[in-house]
A = this chain, B = another copy of it.
Amino acid sequence: MAKYTIGVDFGTESGRAVLVDVADGREIASAVYPYAHGVIDEHLPIPSKEIRLEPDWALQDPEDYIRTFQNTIPAVLRQSGIDPKDVIGVGIDFTACTMLPVKADGAPLCTLSQYREHPHAWVKLWKHHAAQPEADIINLTARRMGESWLDRYGGKISSEWFFSKVLQILTEAPEIYAAADRMIEAADWVVWQLTGVETRNSCTAGYKAIWSKREGFPDSSYFSALDPRLANVIDEKMSRRITPIGQRAGNLTSQAAAWTGLPPGIAVAIANVDAHVAVPAATVTEPRRMVMIMGTSICHMVLSKEEHIVPGMCGYVEDGIIPGLFGYEAGQSCVGDHFAWFVENCTPAAYQQEATARGIDIHQLLEEKAARLEPGESGLLALDWWNGNRSVLVDVNLTGLLLGATLATKAEEIYRALIEATAYGTRVIVEAFENNGVPINELVGCGGLPEKNKLLMQIYADVTGREIKVTASNQAPALGSAMFGAVAAGKAAGGYESIYEAAQTMAHLKDVVYTPISEHQQVYNLLYDEYLKLHDYFGRGENDVMKRLKRIKTEQVLKNT
């Protein structure tokens, strides 16, 4: 009798469930739930009152996550026609650090009427960028105190991460901080909702909350230096019991069974992060092969047997991706988002009309036109910082730059320049790893972009000078979660002993390989040199114009509100 697991992938705009055959990883059915409240970045979704958010805020509604379970799991069961009793486990993955303050029983503060109108009571999405001042304090204090863990994170803690967000809540809304019994990753929170048990996964703890297997969390003295009220934040609001990924978090409660139509009691895996869980789903369980999860942003994941300090990386965590190896993470905060922005804000009406007339997507039309250009032919060069820089500069206050425009510049040329800029950004990351002892021979792409944009994949191969393969699944994180669901269920229930075993049968690559074209590489090497020069000039303090402009902007926006 065939056995199945379900992986649920919580993305930025929607949640997706995939029902997978444990024997071979075949995806039997999938369903998507677009969050009713999406990304909340203008005002709270409260009908009674207009509560506006400041710039750089990005929130979510935790009830959208429950609705994801309620909508997608019944849908995949229905579509597949299988007997729900043959589902042996569930795994989930989430964007991170996406976190929320909750009560001891798990109730999010924003669902309680007394806190509902307070923005700090809501889920802070990964791309909530308003905690930069707090990140600055965290970094300055760590440097001042000589905290050894700082090197594990490339020398910088991001404003996107857990303690930056916690410190922002404490500073700006101490009453919310006080009211919160727990501060928790949304990843762990949804597992709690499925199992009734609060657990904390090693992946988000390691990558986003300064935890390591060998050293645990920073000392109380460090937290106390940030703010005396934070001294016992771990014991008061979090937990020192961190469970390694690949473990079972608990069993599905009858309430969750009622939401989903699944049998109560089946295995639920410890939570994972979307990017990290995609690595084994991309067949990668060994060093030297970098996985790129390419969607609104890119996460770069690579494994190594040794511990290395790589400046400006997001972090490395022992057992963070695959047990027994160090998992290194880097990222670019704006890739698919970039092209979406361009299409929405900069594509002329004539192009929209042409796409409509030909019955194709506007991205397709732009890709087609951009593909006719030679590298360097547009004369354009961009810095891909429309959403800041995550690696290797780790600075959300950097902004986008386009250089080389003339009166003959066309939309497809800008579009191509933006793609190229993100490819240069990836090359900076690849070279930072290589120059610091983490070699990379091959890239494996997964996520929405490799599926949608062949030009982009070829440009990445040309710019990085490396072959790129593509995962067979176009929903690798969900597949990876389903794989961890099978590991959580265990061999006895029809699953697997380990993620290595699961990867061997459940993960596959496509036949397609993108190979660098040497003529293109030559031109891109010249352009990359120019990119690097601008990257360092604007990114490493020689001209901080981007930050000064951002400061003026913030002042002007505040003046008007």
Residues of B within 8 A of A526 (CB): 548, 552
| Contact of A374 with B546 in the complex, beta carbons under 8 Å | no
Question: Which of B55, B374, B402, B527 is in CB contact (< 8 Å) with A560?
Answer: B374
Closest Cβ neighbor of A538 among chain B residues: B403
Q: Which of A510-561 contact B (CB under 8 A)?
A: 523, 526-527, 530, 533-534, 537-538, 543, 545-546, 548-550, 552-553, 555-557, 559-560
Of residues 318 through 339 on chain A, the ones whose CB sits less than 8 Å from some CB of chain B are 334, 337-338
Given known contacts A534-B545, A549-B530, A556 and B347 CB-to-CB distance under 8 angstroms: no
| Bound: A407/B12 CA distance, A | 15
- Is there contact, CB below 8 Å, between A527 and B543? no
Which residues of chain B come closer than 8 Å to A348, judged between CB atoms?
A: 344-349
CB pair A341–B399 under 8 Å, yes or no, is no
Within the complex, the shortest CB–CB distance from A542 to chain B, in Å, comes to 9
Are A349 and B352 in contact (CB-based, < 8 A)?
yes
In the complex, A400 has a CB within 8 A of chain B: yes
- Inter-subunit contact B405/A552 (CB<8 Å): no
- Complex interface bits, A369-402 against B, C-beta within 8 A gives 1, otherwise 0: 0000011111111000011000000000001111
Across the two chains, which residue of chain B brings its CB closest to A362? B349
Contact B410 A399 (CB under 8 A): no
Interface check A224, CB cutoff 8 A: no
Contact A377 B560 (CB under 8 A): yes
Given contacts A346-B411, A549-B381, contact A401 B400 (CB under 8 A): no
Expressed in whole angstroms, the minimum distance between the Cβ of A87 and any Cβ of chain B is 38
Contact A553 B405 (CB under 8 A): no
Give the Cβ gap from A33 to chain B, nearest Cβ, in Å: 23
Distance from A325 Cβ to chain B, minimum over Cβ atoms (Å): 34
Closest-CB distance, A159 to chain B (whole angstroms): 14
Interface residues of A in 143-180 (CB under 8 A from B): none
* Chain B residues with CB under 8 A of A359: none
Check B543 against A537 for contact (C-beta < 8 Å). Answer: yes
Is the CB of A113 closer than 8 A to any CB of chain B? no
Quick one: given A348-B346, A523-B552, A560-B374, are A407 and B381 in contact (CB under 8 Å)? no
Check A435 for interface membership: any CB of B closer than 8 A: no
Q: In the complex, what distance in Å separates the CA atom of A86 from the CA atom of B402?
A: 57
Residues of chain B within 8 A (CB-CB) of A347 are: 348-349
- Check if B407 sits within 8 Å of A337, measured CB to CB: yes
**Are the CB atoms of B399 and A402 closer together than 8 Å?**
no
Could you tell me the distance in whole angstroms from the C-beta of A224 to the nearest C-beta in chain B?
Answer: 35
CB-based contact A403/B545 at 8 Å:
yes
Verify A386–B407 contact, CB threshold 8 A.
yes
B334 and A374 contacting across the interface, CB-CB below 8 Å:
no
Asked if A406 is an interface residue, CB under 8 A from chain B, the answer is yes
Residues of B within 8 A of A80 (CB): none
Residues on B with C-beta less than 8 A from A232 are none
A47 interface residue (CB < 8 Å to B): no
A48 to chain B: closest CB distance in Å? Answer: 26
Asked if A376 contacts B410 (CB within 8 A), the reply is no
Q: Which of B401, B523, B545 is in CB contact (< 8 Å) with A405?
A: B401
Q: Which residues of B contact A346 (CB under 8 A)?
A: 346, 348, 411, 414
Task: Give every chain B residue within 8 A of A378 (Cβ-Cβ).
Answer: 553
A406 with B402, Cβ < 8 A, contacts A379-B552, A523-B556, A552-B376 known: no
Which residues in B have their C-beta under 8 angstroms from that of A338?
A: 407
Whole-angstrom CA separation of A255 from B347 in the bound complex:
50
Q: Is A221 interfacial (CB-CB < 8 Å)?
A: no
The verdict on A453 contacting chain B, using a C-beta distance below 8 Å, is: no
User: Who on chain B is nearest to A548 by CB?
Assistant: B530
- By beta carbon, the residue of chain B nearest A333 is B407
**Residues of A in contact with B (beta carbons under 8 Å apart):** 55, 334, 337-338, 341, 344-349, 352-353, 374-381, 386-387, 399-411, 414, 523, 526-527, 530, 533-534, 537-538, 543, 545-546, 548-550, 552-553, 555-557, 559-560
Q: Which 8 A-B pairs have the closest CB atoms?
A: A400-B405, A379-B553, A349-B352, A376-B552, A349-B349, A377-B556, A374-B556, A399-B404
